[in-house]
Structure 1
Amino acid sequence: MLQFETLKNDPSSHARRGKLTLNHGVVQTPIFMPVGTYGTVKGVMPRSLEEMGAQIILGNTFHLWMRPGLDIMQSFGGLHGFEKWNKPILTDSGGFQVWSLGAMRKITEEGVHFASPVNGDKLFMSPEVSMQIQTTLNSDIVMQLDECTPYETKGHLTTEAEARKSMEMSRRWAQRSKDEFARLENPNALFGIVQGGMFENLRQESLEALVEMDFPGYAVGGVSVGEPKDLMLQIMAHTPHRLPAHKPRYLMGVGTPEDLVQGVADGVDMFDCVMPTRNARNGTIFTRYGDLKLRNARHKTDHQPIDTTCTCHACAGSSGVSWDQGGRDGFSRAYLHHLDRCGEMLGPMLTTIHNLHYYLNLMQEVRNALDTGTFAAFRAQFKADRARGV
């Protein structure tokens, strides 16, 4: 089941405020979706995710197929029961992970033959297999199997002819995914994925073909795969707002806080990215006033929290009162710097909580601005704040 309703449109851009109803709950859009690759968002308890406002999370089809395997997933009735998350889940198709295997895989029209990175077993992923796996996972949103068109191929930039060949195969795989999804009588929702590399004409062809197939929702894939930032922004500006207005639009694997706000302006409803969690584990923290490099020596004696305006557990402690509002229960930059230097696991747990809270709160602020008709002013203030520096 999927129902999507546009609640408000921003007159200054392609941004819109929406409500997405899925089998496991309602999602207010625009939304950022934390990534839980192996059935967990690394270092974060499900309860903490709920407390920080996560409405929907991701699972990774490829990795969950490898471990723990479909028999175990089936015994729990799917991913929700296995990881104890009762809100919506989106699963990717596994295509990006297979594509990332490089020399370990061979792509054909039928699907992808590859060696398991876990034990070396010879395996095969096809549109039909991906649909079967995702049906077992019982995710609320299922993604078609596609080929992620690279920016570079064997040391040279991907040509238009190469991008076309890849896009056209993804288009055929979209139809096969749709047919198998229907055969399995999967009660959830299947999204088609727009491909075409950095070529707007190919993106348009892919888009039109997928719209004709009438998917419940659509994603823009094949961005943030090594291309220069200006080309990514070009595709973001071109594609999302051309997708059907009455269906949700998802930009896959993007990105920075600036990318999210720009993506909303370009008409995107849904985002995911490993950046907030991965960067947190490596000492890069997102704040209202720019990015903070926790490992810098200047933080060794700093009594301030990560972000003085933030109400997450790392910054405000159990009181939920930010430093700027008089709270002093949060953890200092000096303490977090110390944990990072000592390799203590509490450090990345707290920084991950902060980064995810920042992303989710940013999207809440975006939704509030769209609700009140102040999105243009919000964008201007957001840019000024981020440029100020911590």
Structure 2
Amino acid sequence: MSTDPALSGPLPDRFRALWDEIAPIGRDATTGGYLRYAFTEPEVALRGWFRGQAERRDMPVTDDGNGNLFARWGPADAGDAVLTGSHFDSVPHGGAYDGPLGIVSAFLAVDELRAAGVTPLRPLVVAAFAEEEGARFGVPCLGSRLLTGAMDPQRAAGLRDADGVSFAEALGDRPAGARPDLLAGFSSFVELHVEQGRALVDRDAPVGVATAIWPHGRWRLDFHGEGNHAGTTLMADRRDPMLTCAFTVLAANKEARTRGAHATVGRVRVTPNATNAIPTTVTGWLDARAADQETLAGLVEAVRAKAGERARRDGTRVTCTEESVTPLVAFDDGLGARLATLLDAPVLPTGAGHDAGVLAGRLPTAMLFVRNPTGVSHSPAESAADDDCAAGVTALARVLTELTSR
């Protein structure tokens, strides 16, 4: 590894130095949030930064053909590698830490192992996964889904963003799809992530271990009506899809609350989107999550039924299309218990989806969370203290030492 001032000094300072290298990339000057969509200029710059960090540490980088990057420390032909890392892409105007924290921490954890003189018996691989948020092409964890075979590459190739650019065009080629040869070389995966909630604040702990990810998914609701003039069309004569959509949003909120679940409609598209015109179509995206699959299915079915009933009353029409669903993910009990004991850290479930949730179906997987003092995520208010981030690096380094020494 080359000598580099950024790789020496107290860990919180080294974290801040590395973090400041990426902090300006993709930040919106007005909101303070980030616009780091997959394969757009900011995210491409971060991918270049990833390659540069790997080069600084003499870690060769490979691409799996799906846009996922892997930087390797250890023999190229050795198996049972321990995988860590996260993603760079963001939701629109999202926070700084969701995703990149796991990649920055992974490189710093490699530095910690090397500084301690650790010679891992198993290779260590740092990953940067593509399109985790699904903010550009609509399907979350797209890179890891393709890698594991959970997503058909032909369907992925045809996904298009708001400007009509296909995933294949953005990638520069058709996605390779499942890579069992690559997955066979991994023995486990540990993803470090900022906590998206306040559990660690309430427990006064800088780091926690995840137990499970709630089942969750996205459904597209298309409401069709009759476009008309806002000033001349009598209220009784209207077939307004916006009314049906608005009712459905309120119904989803009520159904989620009665079930102890979560329902959000955070994205809506209106045609023709004119102030003085009754819409012809309204499309809304329902994000639904629950502690178990039965509750989730009941929630979505109730929303679907109420939307259909209201559409009949409004003289409109609604269709509901499932875009992606992830079942309950229970992380490897043995691995999670080992890490919780090793770190003396609290354990907690999460309602947020992650690449770890996809990879958990293929290899032993665990997650570490770093305290978020605001408890806010997917927002510029998302944050983490440098000392807590350093504690996360220390915890990850201990975990990676444990996993690569066996």
Task: Please confirm whether the aligned pair reaches a TM-score higher than 0.5, indicating the same fold.
Answer: no
Question: What TM-score does the superposition give when structure 1 sets the normalisation length?
Answer: 0.27
Q: Which has the higher contact order (CA 8 A, sep 6+)?
A: 2
Query: Normalized per residue, which structure has more helix?
Result: 1
TM-score, length-scaled by structure 2: 0.26
